[in-house]
Amino acid sequence: MNFSDLASNPHRRFNPLTREWVLVSPQRIQRPWQGQVEEVPPEATLAYDPTCYLCPGNTRAGGVRNPAYTETFVFDNDFAALKPDTPQAEFHERELLVARSEAGRCRVVCFSPRHDLTMARMNVPELRHVVDAWTQEFSALASDPHTNSVQIFENRGAIMGCSNPHPHGQIWADETLPNELSRELTAFRDYRQAHGTTLLQDYLDLELEKQERLVCANDHFVVLVPFWAVWPFETLLISRRPVSALDELHNDERTALADILRQTTIRYDNLFLTSFPYTMGFHQRPTDGADYPEFHLHAHFYPPLLRSATIKKFIVGYEMLAMPQRDLTAESAARWLRDVPAERYC
């Protein structure tokens, strides 16, 4: 099949990171699309909210008072899903009822003391503080012998189940590898054995050559809509240098990461003229102390919006029972994101 045939005919695309397929049905989006907004969800307008448990100086659940922080602020989640003192236990009944204990830690990272900011509204020096906080946390958690993986992520927007608009993210440290990381690690490992490079290094080269799925870039990072994207405006952020985690980034690469996060989130906001909701997170090497030259640092952005601020993609029906499916091609989505200004206008 020719690549041009893919643009108008149903086909499957392969995700080499997870080894899953996505069904693409481009013929279903024939009509021209307009990024109109029917209704803009309310946004935070106060720089300081006395009722917010993340604002500086306010009291959180359990009576702990936040310091008067001026850049970032990191603390243990008051309602942690994982706890460091979880007793070791295993449960087996034949191979049908299987469970095991999972120890870990959940941290919260406030990106800014300002309640009304988002990544798109923060400047590069401010976002650099966030990158530094993530890196510091990654290193500290990685040095704990009980932590074998660190998941850094952000849920942005009420639609993604984020109850507080104060700019913040989470870090969950696990004793074992979560499913996604485990799948990617296998793919990275096999690819390195076969080719001697990282899977994303070669994929990035291919995308830089083809150009059609690129969204934005700087000297050290590239953001693109992956060929196998499931979410309409899903993007993949890849480091140009094949490092395995944030702690290997040099000073100028950390600043470049802050810059590319700003560029990406501004494009998202400009696309629908609203504070764009998403789940984003980094995938990094396991933290069991071993070397993982096959692993390549990257971040995934998974936004739920399809055509406007109120039309959302649902994973239902065929997608729950069979496989993921999309109508908008990765190439069209990349074009939309590339064509909106990189400077904020909403």
- Active-site positions? 168
Closer Cβ to Zn ion, 16 or 165, answer by number: 16
Q: How far is the CB of 189 from Zn ion (least distance, A)?
A: 14
Its sign, for the CA torsion 123, 128, 134, 137, is negative
Residue ranges of the alpha helices (H) in the chain? 3-6, 124-142, 179-195, 199-210, 251-272, 318-321, 330-339
Closer Cβ to Zn ion, 67 or 178, answer by number: 178
Q: How far is the CB of 20 from Zn ion (least distance, A)?
A: 12
Interface residues with Zn ion (CB under 5 A) are 184, 283
Closer Cβ to Zn ion, 128 or 283, answer by number: 283
Distance from C-alpha of 37 to C-alpha of 31, rounded to nearest angstrom = 17
Determine the residue with CB nearest Zn ion: 283
Closer Cβ to Zn ion, 184 or 259, answer by number: 184
Strands 325-326 and 20-24: parallel
Of 126, 130, 77, 65, residue with least CA distance to 104:
77
Q: How far is the CB of 184 from Zn ion (least distance, A)?
A: 5
Edge to edge, what strands does the sheet with 278-283 contain? Answer: 73-76, 104-110, 168-174, 149-156, 278-283, 298-302, 235-239, 221-224, 214-217
Instruction: Provide the token pair at 228.
Output: 């196998």
Distance from C-alpha of 265 to C-alpha of 110, rounded to nearest angstrom = 17
Q: How far is the CB of 282 from Zn ion (least distance, A)?
A: 8
